[in-house]
Structure 1
């Protein structure tokens, strides 16, 4: 799955396979995927939803 916010080629692909979450940079087709456990991914998503990664001054 590729982000729905992908507009300029700088995209992130996410797949759930074999009990792990794999994340790839779609413009680097030969780069290895980053691999996360479901618990690690859930913690990351919770941080995103909580605004932990927002840039300073962003709404």
Structure 2
């Protein structure tokens, strides 16, 4: 992966957390709305190991 992609993906977590906080959306509600398991947004927000591309782009 490119440095630009890694930087963009790293910025997703904090932005996602801020938007969820402002709107009062839980990880469970986000999961139900997006059909993603709660693990993906949680990992992004904590800036954990990058998920496999297939789990981000189905």
Q: Identify the structure with bigger relative contact order (alpha carbons < 8 Å, sequence gap 6+).
A: 2
State the structure with more CA Rg.
1
TM-score calculated relative to the size of structure 2 = 0.27
TM-score calculated relative to the size of structure 1 = 0.27
Which structure carries more strand by proportion? 1
Which structure carries more helix by proportion? 2
